[in-house]
Chains A and B, each alone.
Chain A
């Protein structure tokens, strides 16, 4: 009874030998294998690019979620200033749900970064081995007869095919992970687009904002008066912030347009 790593070693070697045994002239196997290696290298590079694309998409989503989160925070603050604790509570509970998504996406982002790094290194290792194999292959073809070449080819071959098996699996795993994340990213895009991220009240998307807008018509004056009174009473006025309102967006610090980039769903 042999252990796991011994068995795996045997399986990989058996696979390499099987490929060799099928060849009429082992020197042809060299060329064929080299073609396969180049194909695999291409595949690894594509894999790295795919993972990078997914990672960037996640980064965009994270930025959007953060923006929504700070909008909700501002709304909460404003609602509180207007004496509407119920609205403030609603805004903050939606924000909490958003933060959950953010945490989740950050974890996924780390996973993808890890995959990207691993594949990049795998591509480097494979490239170095493919180059070494090409040199060896030419030497063997130039120097030996088919009969003599057998052993030498076996040596070159088992090393590279083991690497190919390893890299092939790494690629497979990265593809699986990326596909899973893509599906989730698609779902988040839809949520972002609909603005319905965990709307526990069942109200429409801009309900908090429109309620605030309705309320703050005229209320700013009251707030301004309060602030002045506080100043006169000897405070430095750092307490109450006057809130501009009435015209939709009321965050003095975020003047960016609220359009959200849309992604194509695959």
Chain B
């Protein structure tokens, strides 16, 4: 599957890692909803590290959509909330 890290580009990783990432992703959502900024930061960085470690970068000229999209490392809870609730925020 293909994962995008916002601000960094896309990586490809084996579908077998999906379960592992999924667990972290659910944690991330919980921390976002409870407003736990330090926890959110920790989990986000754990997720990013995993994706970077397990994935290989896609070439710049690839035109494939990503199945999963991760916020950039310095994104705040508020920014991510905005992205999830208001798709008008994403310039198209």
A and B associate: yes
Residues of A at the B interface (CB closer than 8 Å) are 1-9, 11-16, 19, 40, 118, 121-122, 124-125, 127-129, 131-133, 136, 155-156, 158-162, 164-166, 168-170, 172
Out of A3, A11, A136, name the residue touching B87 (CB < 8 Å).
Answer: A11
> In the complex, what residues of A have CB within 8 A of residue B78's CB?
none
The yes or no answer to B63 lying at the interface (CB within 8 A) is yes
- Which of B60, B68, B69, B72 is close to A125, meaning CB atoms less than 8 Å apart? B60
Cα(A90)–Cα(B62), bound, Å: 62
How distant is the Cα of A15 from the Cα of B91 in the complex, in angstroms? 9
Residue of A nearest to B32 (CB): A4
Taking Cβ atoms with an 8 Å cutoff, the residues of B that contact A are 3-4, 6-7, 9, 21-22, 24-26, 28-29, 32, 47, 59-72, 80, 83-84, 87, 89-92
29 A-B pairs (CB sep. < 8 Å) = A2-B29, A3-B29, A5-B3, A5-B28, A6-B22, A6-B68, A8-B70, A9-B4, A9-B67, A11-B87, A11-B90, A12-B69, A12-B90, A16-B92, A19-B92, A40-B91, A128-B59, A129-B63, A132-B61, A159-B65, A162-B4, A162-B66, A164-B91, A166-B4, A166-B6, A168-B92, A169-B6, A169-B90, A172-B91
The 7 A-B residue pairs with the shortest CB-CB distance, nearest first, are A3-B25, A168-B91, A159-B63, A128-B60, A158-B65, A8-B69, A132-B61
Residues of A within 8 A of B28 (CB): 3-5
How distant is B35 from chain A, measured CB to nearest CB, in Å?
14
Q: Are A3 and B69 in contact (CB under 8 A)?
A: no
CA distance A8 to B4 in the complex (A): 10
Min CB distance B56 to A, Å, is: 16
Q: Is the interface of A mostly helix, strand, loop or mixed?
A: helix
Given contacts A4-B28, A136-B63, contact A165 B71 (CB under 8 A): no
Separation of A169 and B87 alpha carbons in the complex (Å): 12
| Residues on A with beta carbons closer than 8 Å to the beta carbon of B6 | 166, 169-170
User: B84 to A7, Cβ gap below 8 A?
Assistant: yes
Select A131's contact among B22, B61, B64, beta carbons within 8 Å.
B61
Report how far A58 CA is from B64 CA in the complex, Å: 40
Given contacts A7-B29, A13-B65, A159-B64, 16 further A-B contacts (CB under 8 A): A1-B29, A3-B28, A4-B28, A5-B28, A9-B4, A9-B68, A15-B90, A40-B91, A121-B9, A125-B60, A128-B60, A164-B91, A165-B90, A169-B83, A169-B89, A170-B72
